[in-house]
Amino acid sequence: MVSWQSMIVIDCYMVADIIQAVVQIARPDYVATRWRGTLLTMATGLVVSSFHILLASHLSWCEGVFATIHFFAFVPVLVGLFVLAPKQRAADVFLNFTDVHGNWPDRSIAVLVGQVSNFFVMLGSDGVAHLAEEIEDAGIILPRSMLYSYFVNAPLTVLMAAVFCFSVTSLPKALASPMPFVTVFHDVFQERDAAIAFSAVVLALVTMVAVSALAATSRQIFAFARDKGLPYSDWLATIDGRFDVPVNTIIITFLFTCCMSLINLGSKVAFEAMLSLATVALMATYLISIGCVLLKRVRGEPLPPARWSLGRYGTAVNAIAVVHTAWSFFWAFWPSTSDVHSGTFNWSCVLFLIFLACALLTYHLHAKHTYEGPASYITAREEE
């Protein structure tokens, strides 16, 4: 649950950074400051939360529009960069690794530390699982959509990343921007309006990502509260009849976003640890759940009946997933530089331990005596 809450914060923060980067293109004298980024993050959280409350009945339609824009915007952005951008040498793109302000003794360590953002991009496939109760024939549709979306988007992501890397003319200049891709658009198209237009498309897509993440997060909190797994479960599990959505869980998510965004006022590095926190928290849950399934497969114990299965490839896929999640979990705690002090320390380890302690305390003091999870209902139904 902490992982998805952290993901909402990062999504809103990304929207705020894109807005500031676009404003810098429109007004070169504009200075992107942390307090402005914090206010924009809160404003984005408010807009996304209000959208999810007031327009919840139109969410599926908006998701359809989002998917359409996602695929049709891919082509002009890719073609525009490929045709207009001055190309870097392939050797520089694929073989030249730059340690920017990391000062690591070995460049390979810099590469491994820098992969955390890539881990974050690959997260969230389980988001649709938190909406399973609202999906018809979820036993088939849900896992199939997770698999198909990955196989469609992963190659496109790699292709876009490669073309983007070929199009970066000045790495220091790009990194100086709140969002490097906005600067790259401006350098490539050599036209302010074109750069703003392409950036606006990306801004709309990232905003819809935040909306989708909020839908998954609010449903996740609602599910735990409905099963009496959280303090004030009755209040959190309340469905507002006017909107037919768990308004209280959306409010809690918005307040969490506001509180966490305040960290940015003190330290940008500490706030960006939310990205690592989302990674380690989700990887921890993946590692536990997939590890339990893998253990049952290795022991030859029967798994619960399922309408969709990995079949004979299940053990291999689970084993690879466990190795990958453990690898990601380990590197997500590393700081971005070898010169570690309070301003460069990766605070995700501290935040993770704090939230873990709160979760354990909540379980032992409250949920242990009241929580009845979905497994209890499934077992009871099987016995009947």
Place of tokens 């590692």: 287
* The pLDDT of residue 126: 74
* The pLDDT of residue 375: 57
* The pLDDT of residue 131: 72
DSSP 8-state assignment for residue 38: H
What pLDDT, in 10s, does the model give residues 228-259? Answer: 888 888 888 888 777 778 889 999 999 999 99
* The pLDDT of residue 310: 83
* The pLDDT of residue 110: 86
What pLDDT, in 10s, does the model give residues 281-325? Answer: 888 888 998 999 999 999 988 888 888 888 888 899 999 999 999
3-state secondary structure of 198: helix
What does the block give as tokens for 378? 């499934």
For the chain, list residues with pLDDT below 70: 373-384
* The pLDDT of residue 380: 46
* The pLDDT of residue 237: 85
Residues 6+ apart with CB under 8 A from 256: 5, 8, 9
3-state secondary structure of 245: strand
Place of tokens 């599910």: 223
Dihedrals phi, psi of 245, to nearest 5 degrees: -140, 160
- The radius of gyration of the chain from alpha carbons, rounded to an integer in Å, stands at 22
- CA 296 vs CA 52, 292, 303, 326: distances in Å: 39, 6, 7, 19
* The pLDDT of residue 4: 78
DSSP 8-state assignment for residue 364: I
CA distance 110 to 153: 27
Q: What pTM, to 2 d.p., does this model score?
A: 0.83
List, in order of start, the domains of the chain with CATH numbers: 2-383 (1.20.1740.10)
